[in-house]
């Protein structure tokens, strides 16, 4: 299979977008963990780990909103 230059560039753009999403997710985890997880440590998390941590963060945010307690 041979790709055209346009197809290759589109794939590169897709990879760059995915990379940016992962960096955003990792930095968000670091921020919510208040230093409990460093950026380097966050890179070692598996997709499943990041997914679970993201769900926990959402649950805690919802609990905070419902209880009226300050989050920050």
Position 1 scores a pLDDT of 81
User: What is the C-alpha separation between 15 and 32, in angstroms, rounded?
Assistant: 26
Compute the Cα dihedral for 1, 14, 32, 38 and give only its sign. Answer: positive
User: What is the C-alpha separation between 71 and 57, in angstroms, rounded?
Assistant: 11
Position 39 scores a pLDDT of 96
Question: Per-residue confidence at 72, pLDDT binned at 50, 70, 90?
Answer: low
Q: What are the extents of the domains in the chain?
A: 13-67
Encoded tokens for 48: 């499943």
pTM (global) more than 0.75: yes
* 12-41 pLDDT, tens digit each: 999 999 999 999 999 999 999 988 999 999
């Amino acid at each position: 299979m041979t790709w055209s230059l346009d197809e290759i560039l589109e794939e590169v753009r897709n990879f760059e977008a995915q990379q940016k999403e992962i960096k955003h997710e990792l930095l968000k985890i670091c921020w919510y963990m208040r230093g409990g997880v460093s950026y380097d440590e966050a890179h070692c998390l598996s997709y499943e780990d990041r997914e679970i941590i993201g769900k926990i963060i959402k649950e805690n945010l919802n609990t905070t909103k419902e209880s009226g307690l300050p989050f920050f």
